[in-house]
Structure 1
């Protein structure tokens, strides 16, 4: 029998119950979190200070880095604090707030990746009109559209979930997630579950279709280029985005295509850990290591900083 008394908080079980393993998890997550913040902040600052990085592509990259910082900050610090303090309780209000921000930043990231694929399509397929098409007003409107789409995805299911009654307080995850929250409810959650699934599938399919269509046109255009050097250069401008898209969509596919119900929780934890800790750390390196302009800007800033120190 479930306890039908009014609950005011949930218990986050985390990734492990082993105290020694929990220390290793804490060190790993703290390290990846700090490095991802530093890496993404570096990209944001480089694009702000370098006049050579004022194109639409870098404007979108700057916003993507901001989303990466926001996404990892919405779930990792709370879990680190719970390990450090030993307090695994989280209030229901705080839990719903965390779900709101995690889904908002995550969904907005998907829409932004679709916009970035369109930007690469314009750059390669319509290079002479790139500056005209991707002007500052269009870029700002696209970013606002990404945020608005993220809000539209989270608000309907979240607003309905606020009226739920809860009988169970245990969340077998390291942050508040929709699935365990709905499992803890005494109320009928069928409609909300279907709405959550619909919103997730719509976001995934719409953005993936935009990415796939953009790259179909890009590949067709690249294959028409006369020289191998031109084709290589064109591919290199898209390679970083392709890698990031593969990581983001790949992790989402793994969550929703599970080998068995028994492994659902374990897989969700592992993939969520990769998405919230490892991916935000890798993405700055993926973009900087494969982008000559960003590397040149970084080296230039280091030289200027060293020169001012010598003074």
Structure 2
């Protein structure tokens, strides 16, 4: 299409999901319940780590950072989804749309880096136990946590900035939030170069971290298999099981959506898969870490006992 014939838009329409009007209230209530439970679950993890001295270790420090990140991550898209369930196609100012795009990808890349740091923490704990606390001192933990946020919010500037600079000829975004692929479909210029840049930036963030995680887990596996006792091996694996589950959910859905050119997937497929990493994963993370981790379960039991004692009184 000739660029001169394009209409520059100041707002977009979020299409949301095509669902019968009678089912939308149920979908709204279901999404709202999951959203509230997600906020409650991640807040609970943060409070639990702060309240229980047994969880004052690097592993749980990074877990609390992950839960804090998930609070913002899910809040970037869930309110928009709730609005589209109630009102159908929803207008969103272009500026707000691009801010949502930037914040969403910043938090997503931050989580990607943070999962790599959490794997490094497990590697040092299992493979370098004698030097673990020196290598993961409070100063190092704070530096690593800050670096993940800085790297995530810096890397997201490239795809968000390039997308915001495009001329858009159509207004309806075939999604329930502003994401790269559905926005690029609305551009009235060739976006091949933009897609390659997006793929390179996001590919480096996800691909390099994924390779790092695989390499570190390879070292963990070799170290664990050398342990003489089966009980020791089981204990070592148990400290990694919840993290491996979260990594699988996060990277599995991210690779399906973002590997390849933007727009290479069907619109409906993008939206359904997006539900996994925008809504389902933040909801499941506190459950996974609570059910799969003995220390967290013990901390929950202790806190519950304290609350019961307080209610009963002296």
Output the TM-score relative to the length of structure 2: 0.93
Question: How far 1:87 moved relative to its partner?
Answer: 5.9
Equivalences for 1:8-19 in 2 at 5 Å?
8-19=10-21
Residue-by-residue CA offset, 1:252-298 (whole Å, 9 max, x unaligned): 2222468xx88621221111011111111111111111112211211
Q: Secondary structure at the match of 1:275?
A: helix
Distance 1:168 1:190 in 2: 18
Distance 1:161 1:263 in 2: 18
How many residues in Structure 1 have an aligned counterpart in Structure 2? 309
C-alpha spacing 1:11/1:17, structure 2 compared with 1 (3 Å)? farther
Structure 2 alignment gaps of length 5 or more: none
Equivalences for 1:267-306 in 2 at 5 Å?
267-306=269-308
Q: Which residue of 2 aligns with 1:151?
A: 153
Query: Alignment partner for residue 55 of structure 1, among 54, 57, 70?
Result: 57
Question: How far 1:121 moved relative to its partner?
Answer: 0.3
Question: How far 1:83 moved relative to its partner?
Answer: 2.9
Q: Secondary structure at the match of 1:253?
A: helix
Question: How far 1:202 moved relative to its partner?
Answer: 0.6
Distance 1:162 1:279 in 2: 28
Is 1:185 the counterpart of 2:187? The answer is yes
Question: How far 1:39 moved relative to its partner?
Answer: 0.6
Structure 1 alignment gaps of length 5 or more: none
Residue-by-residue CA offset, 1:226-254 (whole Å, 9 max, x unaligned): 11111111111111111111111111222
Distance 1:208 1:262 in 2: 22
Distance 1:262 1:190 in 2: 12
Distance 1:109 1:117 in 2: 12
Q: Secondary structure at the match of 1:167?
A: coil
Distance 1:302 1:199 in 2: 45
Equivalences for 1:119-134 in 2 at 5 Å?
119-134=121-136
Question: How far 1:224 moved relative to its partner?
Answer: 0.5
Judge conservation of contact 1:16–1:22 (CA < 8 Å) in 2.
Answer: no
Query: Alignment partner for residue 65 of structure 1, among 53, 67, 91?
Result: 67
Q: Which residue of 1 aligns with 2:226?
A: 224
Residue-by-residue CA offset, 1:127-150 (whole Å, 9 max, x unaligned): 111111101111111111111111
Q: Which residue of 2 aligns with 1:205?
A: 207
Q: Secondary structure at the match of 1:90?
A: strand
Distance 1:11 1:162 in 2: 16
Question: How far 1:190 moved relative to its partner?
Answer: 3.1
Distance 2:165 2:259 in 1: 30
Judge conservation of contact 1:10–1:169 (CA < 8 Å) in 2.
Answer: yes
Question: How far 1:188 moved relative to its partner?
Answer: 4.3
C-alpha spacing 1:219/1:262, structure 2 compared with 1 (3 Å)? closer
Question: How far 1:17 moved relative to its partner?
Answer: 4.1
Q: Which residue of 1 aligns with 2:32?
A: 30
Residue-by-residue CA offset, 1:102-121 (whole Å, 9 max, x unaligned): 10111100100000001000
Output the TM-score relative to the length of structure 1: 0.94
Query: Alignment partner for residue 196 of structure 2, among 181, 190, 194?
Result: 194
My pick for the range that moved more, 17-26 or 231-240, is 17-26
Distance 1:168 1:130 in 2: 55
Q: Which residue of 1 aligns with 2:81?
A: 79
Distance 1:164 1:262 in 2: 19
C-alpha spacing 1:264/1:86, structure 2 compared with 1 (3 Å)? closer
